[in-house]
A and B are shown apart, each in its own frame.
Chain A
Amino acid sequence: MIEFKNVSKSYDKKTVVKNISFKVEKGELVVLIGLSGCGKTTLLRMINKLIKPTSGSIYIDGKNIEFTDEILLRRNIGYVIQQTGLFPHMTIRKNIEIIPRLQKMNPTKIAQNSIALMEMVGLDPKIYLDRYPSELSGGQQQRIGVARAFACDPDIILMDEPFSALDPITRCQLQDEMVGIQAKYKKTIVFVTHDMNEAIKLADKICIINNGDIQQFDTVETIMRDPANEFVTEFIGRNRIWSVPELIKIEDVMITDPICAPPELSVLKCIEKMRGNKIDHILITDKNRILLGILSAKKAQTCADKSVSASKIMNTEFISFTGGQSMTDALETVTKENMSTIPVLKGKELIGLVTRSSLLTAISQQYIGETEDKV
């Protein structure tokens, strides 16, 4: 666990980090994100004492790192930086094994470990271990960087824009692999980037920084759904949430006051009500808004005796959603089941309604909302 307590850093008169406090829990991947020069890299480099804070202190597992030997500290923290972090004059093997060898660990263990690390990052140890970094592609070099960071099996790993110099496809691959590695090894990772997509993909929590100050520090979901201020909204992009529709909940897009009818209402009255509201399904609920069934206009029309109560002919077998399900679920169900009206329930109580047209309206909001903003 890493904890920043009132940490500030200034160079001459310029303050780059302003009184920042935050906590990174064990096993969490936290992304520090912000514009260039916002202080995110400075924050990262304070964790392994490459930069000393002007004031405030940083605790790792409750210990103030100010009083920890910096060499020991760094050897227990993995460190990955942009491309050129590998030593060009050493083979891949030597690059990975440098710290274990300096620590005089058992040579056979080191060798086994290197093979395991290469497999972890998806490179064939037989082919690559004895090559030089210049013989590898940028993506492969970065994989080695990750492998080296894991070499001493540290609890904490710091990553400073490790993938930003790579082409989009390679970057994407590495991000995917990083997700897999993190799921398996559960390290505490602090990751610096300026790429919001990368942050969304990797982070458990995102820390948005501007002008040396934290704007918002929360889970990806909360930041997307509930940006703390104008800067965060701008930074993540007004309609960013649409790029991850899994984060949009049905309760955000449903119709909250659907047209209902009591079960004893006659079919004729139901038809009138549907016609009046221009809908083709009506929800039959009791006094406590417990959903009993759905009556479609088609069924009502074909019913011979229009004076019977709606409960007699309503459809009692229906698909329903809960408010917590995502919009992608809704889209999927609507398409797959060819349903136009799906009620949203909380227990048995009706809380809303999703229809094809309400989904369409929700989706179109991102475009219409944008044009309105411009005007």
Chain B
Amino acid sequence: MSFLKYFYENLGEIGSKSVEHLEMTLISIGMAVLIGVPLGILISYIKPLKKPVLGFANLVQALPSIALLGFFVPLFGIGEKPAIIMVIIYSLLPIIKNTTTGLINVNRETLDAARGIGMTRFQILIKVQMPLALPMIMSGIRIAAVTAVGLVTIAAFIGAGGLGFIIYSGIRTMNNFKILTGAIPACILALLVDGLAAIVEKLVTPACFKNKKKVKFNAEKQK
């Protein structure tokens, strides 16, 4: 009971920190998509680049996030900036990887037909490859988004704010209630972001891949 009371009393702070948290997550994921998707497209076209790019993204992911933050402080100072950069770098791998895999795995005969009927490379990318790879790309973004919510929590160590700030101050004052008031919303936020991404995923999935039965049913009704 006393926890709920504590939680209730601090609702204002939780709210503002949650918004901060979400803001940082969305900014970094947005940036990661803007960087990762084109990079993924690039390496699907220029095969020799694939290994070094994916290798680098892999390597970065293997680095401990706290160490990376440490590196960034002398470069970018403290606050939100280095935190966002760190999250972007961490999110790149699933986005790049899923983008290339999605693009490369588009049926070769479909691409052959696209070329054969006279579409330019760019038209093939935009009208055929991207729509068909989109479910794969979205699932990469979804993984990245959920991971990002967790990563932003750590960013509190370099003064970036967010729900991590509440957890961090809870640890330092040995206040378990405080830790929980940061951790629980962070958890909920992660699920929320995942749900949000799932909705976006559904929206962008070409009609042929989803609700096949429903579409068929409608078609039969028309008959």
Contacts and interface: CB of A to CB of B under 8 A. Distances in A.
B132 interface: yes
Nearest to A70: B118
Interface in A56-79: 70-79
Nearest to A79: B116
Given A88-B208, A89-B131, A79 B219 contact: no
Contacts of A78: 117
A10 to B, nearest CB: 21
Nearest to A73: B118
A78 B219 CA distance: 29
A158 B116 CA distance: 9
Given A89-B206, A99-B118, A102-B119, A84 B219 contact: no
The DSSP consensus for interface residues of chain A is: helix
Given A72-B118, A98-B127, A85 B109 contact: yes
Contacts of B123: 102
A142 B119 CA distance: 20
A98 B116 CA distance: 13
A84 B109 contact: yes
Contacts, number: 80
Contact of A87 (B110, B116, B212, B223): B110
Nearest to B128: A87
A50 B117 contact: no
Interface stretch (A26-34, A126-134, A172-180): A126-134
B32 to A, nearest CB: 25
Contacts of A84: 107, 109-110, 113
A363 to B, nearest CB: 44
A89 B207 contact: yes
A135 B113 contact: no
Interface string B185-223: 000000000000000000000111100100110010011
| Most chain B Cβ neighbours within 10 Å, of A48, A50, A84 | A84
Interface residues of B, number: 27
Contacts of B131: 89
A342 B32 CA distance: 88
A92 to B, nearest CB: 11
Interface string A125-148: 001000111110000000000001
A132 B209 CA distance: 10
A88 B129 CA distance: 11
Contacts of A82: 109
Interface residues of A, number: 34
Contact of B113 (A72, A73, A77, A85): A85
Q: Choose among A72, A85, A86, A158 the residue with the greatest number of B CB atoms under 10 Å from its CB.
A: A85
Nearest to A126: B222
Contact of B118 (A74, A87, A127): A74
Contacts of B117: 74-75, 78-79, 98-99, 148-149
Contacts of B216: 135
B114 interface: yes
Which among B118, B206, B208 has the highest number of chain A CB atoms within 10 Å?
A: B118
A81 interface: yes
B112 A81 contact: yes
B175 interface: no
A144 to B, nearest CB: 11
Contacts of A102: 119, 123
A85 B119 CA distance: 13
Contacts of A74: 115-118
Contacts of B107: 84
B120 interface: yes
A83 B108 CA distance: 12
A85 B208 contact: no
A135 B219 contact: yes
Given A98-B119, A102-B123, A127-B223, A79 B208 contact: no
Given A89-B132, A135-B216, A135-B219, A48 B116 contact: yes
A87 B207 contact: no
B89 to A, nearest CB: 32
A161 B111 CA distance: 17
B217 to A, nearest CB: 10
B208 to A, nearest CB: 4
A81 B208 contact: no
A133 B208 CA distance: 8
Contacts of A133: 208
A83 B115 CA distance: 16
Interface in B89-136: 107, 109-110, 112-120, 123, 127-128, 131-132
A127 B206 contact: no
Interface of A: 45, 48, 50, 70-79, 81-89, 98-99, 102, 127, 131-135, 148-149, 158
Nearest first, the 3 A-B pairs at minimum CB distance are: A74-B118, A89-B206, A75-B118
5 contacts: A50-B112, A81-B109, A81-B112, A89-B207, A149-B117
Given A75-B118, A98-B119, A132-B207, 11 more contacts: A71-B118, A74-B118, A75-B117, A77-B118, A84-B110, A87-B110, A88-B206, A89-B131, A132-B215, A148-B117, A149-B117
